[in-house]
């Protein structure tokens, strides 16, 4: 990789840590990484873009909440191999986190990565706007990302689908402080109906996938506006706050 990548690492971590990590991230394709600020190592397995994902989430901290708020309950939708859940478990060690991932190979590595954290619960399920089953509709770059679609046939399904409200009910939570959602276009269905859970959500962090599913962002934007969310772009993610819950939070940016 280029010198600019090393300089970015040095800026964020300091010279010694950058020298130590740069070969693991960009040359040797390490199977595991011990990163500054994490209580435990993270495992990449055979994940083709694992090092780049670790750098993006755990070093560049794209899911960092850029204002002060109390965070006790987090739902990580599209948890992949666990880096966002791990980031939040280290940032908010008292928080309870539910990590939801539909793809079995990703889920196995998610379980391995989050095993040392007793505040993370992992679900091999997908998020949808109703209880159903999900099958793979499209697979991107090995098993790094998958797009799912509903099916009535459990035999062809990769997992069960649940709603955010189902998770709140199962956890006996009256609200979620943070819902992070990176679901490869499933947001089109999730925000199209049965989205009363948004009334019980303080902060939504969304990655929209218009390039994969046309008009997938429209239901999300419509629902966000109807529930009184304000939103802004941060690290190419959509951070969405309910005005009633975050009076003045945007002024901290």
Does residue 142 register a pLDDT over 60?
Answer: no
CA distances from 59 to 84, 123, 154, 164, 208 (A): 11, 25, 39, 28, 22
Residues 76-100: pLDDT tens digits?
Answer: 999 999 999 999 999 999 999 999 9
Which runs of consecutive H residues, i.e. helices, occur in 78-214?
83-91, 104-114, 164-171, 187-190
Q: Which of 123, 133, 130 is nearest to 77 (CA)?
A: 123
Q: Residue 26 has what pLDDT?
A: 66
How many beta carbons lie within 10 A of that of residue 64, not counting itself?
12
Residues 160-181: pLDDT tens digits?
Answer: 999 999 999 999 999 999 999 9
Lowest mean pLDDT among 30-39, 52-61, 76-85, 111-120: 30-39
Measured distance CA(52)–CA(154) in Å, rounded: 34
Residues 185-226: pLDDT tens digits?
Answer: 899 999 999 999 999 999 999 998 877 777 778 999 999 999
Domain boundaries, the chain: 1-60, 62-252
| Topology annotation, domain 62-252 | Rossmann fold (3.40.50)
Q: Residue 159 has what pLDDT?
A: 94
């Amino acid at each position: 990789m280029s010198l600019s990548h090393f300089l970015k690492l040095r800026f964020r971590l300091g010279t010694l840590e950058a020298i130590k990590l740069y070969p693991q991230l960009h040359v040797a394709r390490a199977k595991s990484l011990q990163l500054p600020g994490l209580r435990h190592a993270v495992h990449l397995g055979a994940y083709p873009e694992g090092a780049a994902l670790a750098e993006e989430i755990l070093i560049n901290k794209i899911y960092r909440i850029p204002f002060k708020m109390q965070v006790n309950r987090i739902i990580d939708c599209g948890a992949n191999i666990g880096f966002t859940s791990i980031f939040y478990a280290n940032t908010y060690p008292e928080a309870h986190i539910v990590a939801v991932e539909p793809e079995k190979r990703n889920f196995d590595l998610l379980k391995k990565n989050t095993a040392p954290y007793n505040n993370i619960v992992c679900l091999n399920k997908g998020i949808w706007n109703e209880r159903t089953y999900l099958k793979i509709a499209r697979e991107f770059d090995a098993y790094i990302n998958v797009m799912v679609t509903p099916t009535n046939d459990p035999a062809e399904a990769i997992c069960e689908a649940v709603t955010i409200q189902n998770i709140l009910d199962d956890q006996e939570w009256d609200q979620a402080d943070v819902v992070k959602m990176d679901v490869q276009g499933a947001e089109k269905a999730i925000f199209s109906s049965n989205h009363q859970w948004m009334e019980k959500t303080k902060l939504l962090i969304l990655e929209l996938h218009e390039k994969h599913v046309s008009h997938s962002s429209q239901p999300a934007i419509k629902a966000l506006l109807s529930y009184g969310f304000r939103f802004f772009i941060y690290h190419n993610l959509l951070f969405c706050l309910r005005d009633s819950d975050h009076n003045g939070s945007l002024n901290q940016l």
